[in-house]
Amino acid sequence: MKHALVIISMFFAGMAVAQTKFESAMGRGLEQFKAAKTVDDMTTASAFFERVGDAEKDKWLPYYYAAYSYYLTGWMNPKADKDKVAEKTKDLISKAEAIEPNNSELYCLRQMAAIQQMTVDPMARWQTYGAEARAALDKAIKADPNNPRIYYLNGQTLMNTPEAFGGGKAVAKKLFEKSLELYKTFQPASPFHPNWGKEEAEKLLAACQ
């Protein structure tokens, strides 16, 4: 009897192993991603997610994280050519969008990539990349108005926009408040779905006070 139980449980364990090859890879990837301290670590994490995405073909999350981590290298490396980083980031987002069209989180990433490019030369670039960023957020809202990251990202952008151009702390504050309100009820669809931004929103809200 004991034997039978062991055999059965091992059988199920084996199934579970097979099923979670992807999940364990995602888990490993996210660990790498969270532990990444250097640009190289982050690039390695991004490349890993990209490989998972390439192998899976029908999962958008690996590409999401590949794009997100690659985007972060653009901030981690002060000497990064942000246009090149954005080119790769956007390429990865496009791959994710091909699998999961019209996803609010992916539009948010597009906004982030555009803002990163804008910071290269804000005075000269806000018209082009600012518009690109706004268009992305508009789509993100249409896809899911309850995504808290939309309001966090928009708040962050407006916080760094001069008041004379419609930005400023007062405007940003409202957005952070809205974002945090949504975080209260926000539940990621799986442990691997995007679930970041709450602490950042709290920090920036505090900075707006």
Partner 1 sequence: MKQFAILPFLFLMAGWASAQMRVTGTVKDNRGHILAGASVVVKGSYDGGVSDSTGHFSFKTFEKGAQTVVASNVGYKSMELPVTLGTETVDLAFSLKEEVSELKAVTVTAGSFEAGDKKRAATVLSSLDVVTTGGANADISAVVKTLPGAQQVGEQEGLFVRGGAGYETKQFIDGTLVNNPYFSSVPDLAQRGRFSPFLFKGTVFSTGGYSALYGQALSSALILESIDIPERSEAQASISPIFLGAGLQEIAKDKKSSWGMQYGYTNLVAYFAIVKQKPDYFTIPEFHAGDANFRIRTKKGGIIKYYTTLATNKLGLRRPNIDDPSLKNAFGLSNTNWYQNLSWRENLGSGWKMNLGLSYSTDHTSFTNQIQNQNNIPVTTGQVWIDSTNVAAKTTADLSQIKAVFDKRLSGISVIRFGGEYMYFYNKGVFNNYTGLLREHFKSLFSEADLYITNDLAAKLGVRFEHSSLINKANIAPRLSLAYKTGNGGQMSIAYGIFYQKPENTYLYATTNFGYTKATHYIINYIKNTTLQTFRVEAFYKKYEDLVKTYPAYNNDGTGYAKGIEFYWRDKKTIKNLDYWISYSYLDTKRDYLNYPGQLQPNFAANHTASLVMKRFVNSINTGFNFTYSFATGRPYYNFVKNGVKYEIADQGKTISYNNLGFSLNYLMSMGKAYAVWVASVTNVLNQNQVFGYNYSHDGTRKEAISTPSPRFYFIGLFLSWGVDRRQDAINNNL
- Give the residues lining the site for partner 1 (CB under 8 A): 2, 6, 10, 25, 43-44, 47-48, 50-52, 54-55, 81-84, 87-88, 91, 120-121, 123-124, 127-128, 131, 134, 137-138, 141-142, 145, 150-151, 154, 162-166, 174-175, 178
Task: Give the residue with the Cβ less far from partner 1, 145 or 188.
Answer: 145
Beta strands in the chain, from DSSP E residues, in sequence order: none
What are the C-alpha distances in Å from 132 to residues 63, 69, 123, 194?
A: 21, 21, 15, 22
Shortest Å distance, C-beta 18 to partner 1: 14
Shortest Å distance, C-beta 70 to partner 1: 10
Task: Give the residue with the Cβ less far from partner 1, 15 or 55.
Answer: 55
Task: Give the residue with the Cβ less far from partner 1, 101 or 170.
Answer: 170
Shortest Å distance, C-beta 43 to partner 1: 6
Task: Give the residue with the Cβ less far from partner 1, 169 or 178.
Answer: 178
Q: What is the 3-state secondary structure (H, E, C) of 97-116?
A: HHHCCCCHHHHHHHHHHHHH
Distance from C-alpha of 199 to C-alpha of 176, rounded to nearest angstrom: 11
Shortest Å distance, C-beta 9 to partner 1: 9
Decide: 73 and 105 in contact? Cβ < 8 Å: no
DSSP string, 148-187: HHHHHHHHHHHHTS-GGGT-SHHHHHHHHHHHHHHHHH--
Task: Give the residue with the Cβ less far from partner 1, 123 or 206.
Answer: 123
